Amino acid sequence: MKIIGTGLSGLVGSRVVELLNSSYEFEDISRKTDTDITNRDAVTSRIKNSEAEVVIHMAAFTNVDGAEEQKSLDEESEPWKMNVLGTEHVVAACEETGKKLIYISTDFVFDGEHTPEGGYTEEDTPNPVNWYATTKYEGEKRVQNAKSPWVIARIAYPYRAQFEKNDFFRAMKNRLSQGLEIKAISDHKYCPTFIDDIATGFDKLIQAKVTGIYHMTGSQSLSPHDAALLIAKTFALDINLIETTTRGEYFQGKAQRPFDLSMNNAKIKQLGVTLHGFEEGLQLIKQQL
C-alpha cells in the first residue's frame, strides 16, 4: 500500500517510515520535497496526483513557547498557518480524492485541570490552555468535519533512541551524561509515547480500516521529575544531578502548561496495539543502543 504524508522526515515520521517501509511505500510532502503545506495548490496537486490510499498528516508547528509568542498575530501566526490552514489544505485534498486521512494531534488539547480517573478518554471535551494547543485543536475540528474518512491520533511527548534533534528524553539523558544538573518539574503529569509504538499504531489503524479519535499515548502517567529519575536509573547516571522545580518556576513568562495530562489508551489497545510505559520504553531503547 502507498502512503503519502506530511512530516515524514521529522522526529516521529522518520522513525515510522524506517519501521514500516517494508510494508508500505511512503511519499513525503514537505519543504524538503519542495512542497509547503501552507500552499493550498501545492498540497492539493501532490495529494491528487498520488496513488496513495492513505494520507498521514504529521507536519506541525510544535514549539509551544514559540507559538505563544505569536498568539497576538492570531490567524496570521505561523502556528495557525501550519496547524490550521495546512490541515484545511490536506483535508480539502482528501475530500476531493476520497483518500483516508490520519491526523496526528496532541494530549495538549486538554487543560489537565479536572482529569478523569484513569485519564482522558476520546469522549472527553478538549479545552486547550495555550496557543499551540489551540491551533492543534482547531486542526482537529477541520478533520472531524471532513467528508472523507478520517482518524485523529493523539500522541504525547514522543521519544526514541536516536535522531538528529533532541526529544525530551535525549535532552535529559545527554545533560546527565555530561555531568550537568537538570531541573525537572514535579507538578505536571504526562504519558510519554515511545515512537516505535506509534509506528505499530499506524499500521493497526490502517489495517483495521477504522475511523474516529484514538489516544496513541504511553501507558504510564508520571511527572518529568519521575521521568528524569527513571532515565538516571536505567542508564546508570547520577540522580544527584536532578533538581526539583515547578511549572510556575520553570515556565515563568512562557506558555501555560496543563497540570495532569494522564491519558486513557484503552480504545486503541483493543486493536491489538501495545503502548509501552516510559520505564518499559527506556528498557527497549537501552537494548537498541
Mean pLDDT by 10 residues, the chain (289 residues): 95 97 95 88 94 96 97 97 97 96 98 96 98 98 97 98 96 98 96 98 97 98 98 98 95 94 98 97 97
What is the C-alpha separation between 37 and 87, in angstroms, rounded?
8
8 Å CB contact between 104 and 195: no
Q: Which of 216, 206, 227, 192 is nearest to 274 (CA)?
A: 216
CATH of domain 2-166+193-219+263-276: 3.40.50.720
Q: Which of 188, 196, 103, 99 is nearest to 143 (CA)?
A: 103
Q: Which of 165, 199, 153, 197 is nearest to 18 (CA)?
A: 199
Entry pTM: 0.96
- The pLDDT value recorded for residue 31 is 82
8 Å CB contact between 29 and 4: yes
8 Å CB contact between 107 and 191: yes
* Residue showing cell 522526529: 11
- The pLDDT value recorded for residue 155 is 98
Q: Where are the domains of the chain?
A: 2-166+193-219+263-276
8 Å CB contact between 48 and 27: no
What is the C-alpha separation between 179 and 242, in angstroms, rounded?
10
Q: Which of 172, 157, 110 is nearest to 12 (CA)?
A: 157
| 242 CB burial (10 A radius; 0-12, 13-18, 19+) | buried
**Helices 224-234/168-177 angle, 10° precision:** 50
- The pLDDT value recorded for residue 30 is 86
Q: Which of 185, 218, 186, 189 is nearest to 112 (CA)?
A: 189
- The pLDDT value recorded for residue 33 is 83
